[in-house]
Amino acid sequence: MTVNWQQHINKMGCSGSKTGPESLDRPRIQMGNKLVLLGDYFNAETRALIAILQLSETPFTLMEIDQLKEEHLKDQYLQVNPTGQVPTMLHGSFKIIGAANMFVGYLASCMPRVREKFVSQDMEAMMVWYQARLRPVSIRLTQAISKFKQSGSQVITRQPSIKGTDQSDDIIRDLNEFLKFHLPTLERRFETQSTKYLCGDRMCAVDILFFCEISQILVLTEKKEVLMNTNMNQTQYPLLASWFFKYMNSVPQVEAVDKRFREIVKKHNNFY
């Protein structure tokens, strides 16, 4: 379920303590111990968490925070998450902010269906890689390519228009790291372990996180042909492409959140 965050976000008494404020100048409602995710389909971690929750059939409420309209910088949101980062998770009297391992770890600790379906004993190293290497590259590229405007119009800047600016070197460096390190390393991992997914033959949380982050970079940098060229059957990363399109993008819940992301990009700049 999706609700309007500006009407309902702070009615839960969730400020990270048992005695958090029940209201911040908004009508009061009783949310109890329901799980609430404050996020944005433009954000890769939000999309991954939505897919994980939907696939595990975990009830939750989504409150959309439009980053392209800078809603994450408004006082109402900053009172909930002073960092202004997206996503934020509220559960009863608890507030979860931070990196992906915090969200997945929390869900695994209190949501049995998430733990059973999406936690693997072998995913710790991949989670570290995601957070230490891939996620920072994606964040920097997204921030460099995106121009946030209050109006939310014409936000996405096409890559050619960035050339010649002060950000060009940073974009080229991060894109090269993605294309020349991350993708080849993932391809070698599939070659070495001969499995369908990153941590075995069963999809886990890491697969969804990696998929959403890779899609974020490919779409914003217009590099999707790296995994699927115009012939639709030739790529220098066949195993990675198979994982991306055959095993991940074919999952309805994963495909749905990815589609919402591409629709946002297209809406703001006829980009994709």
CATH architecture label of 2-117: 3-Layer(aba) Sandwich (3.40)
- Give the separation between CA 148 and CA 137, rounded to whole angstroms: 19
Mean pLDDT of the chain: 81
Tell me the one-letter amino acid at 140. Answer: R
Query: Would you place residue 32 in the very low, low, confident or very high pLDDT band (cuts 50, 70, 90)?
Result: low
pLDDT tens, position by position, 245-255: 999 999 999 99
pLDDT tens, position by position, 105-122: 999 999 999 999 999 988
Residue 17 has a pLDDT of 29
Tell me the one-letter amino acid at 258. Answer: D
Kindly report the three-state secondary structure assignment for every residue of 42-109: CCHHHHHHHHHHHHCCCCCEEEECCHHHCHHHCHHHHCCCCCCCCCEEEECCEEECCCHHHHHHHHHH
Share of the chain above pLDDT 90, in %: 62
The tally of CA atoms less than 13 A away on the side-chain side of residue 10 is 17
Query: Has residue 156 got a pLDDT over 80?
Result: no
Residue 229 has a pLDDT of 56
Query: Has residue 153 got a pLDDT over 60?
Result: no
| Per-residue DSSP letter, 199 | T
Residue 260 has a pLDDT of 97
Range list for CATH 1.20.1050 in the chain: 124-269
Query: Has residue 172 got a pLDDT over 70?
Result: yes
Least confident range of 19-33, 115-129, 183-197: 19-33
pTM score, whole prediction: 0.82
- Give the separation between CA 112 and CA 12, rounded to whole angstroms: 23
28 contacts 11 by C-beta, under 8 angstroms = yes
Residue 222 has a pLDDT of 83
Query: Has residue 237 got a pLDDT over 60?
Result: yes
Least confident range of 5-19, 66-80, 160-174: 5-19
- Give the separation between CA 96 and CA 80, rounded to whole angstroms: 10
**CATH number for the 124-269 domain, one of 1.20.1050, 2.60.98, 1.10.10, 1.20.120?**
1.20.1050
Range list for CATH 3.40.30.10 in the chain: 2-117
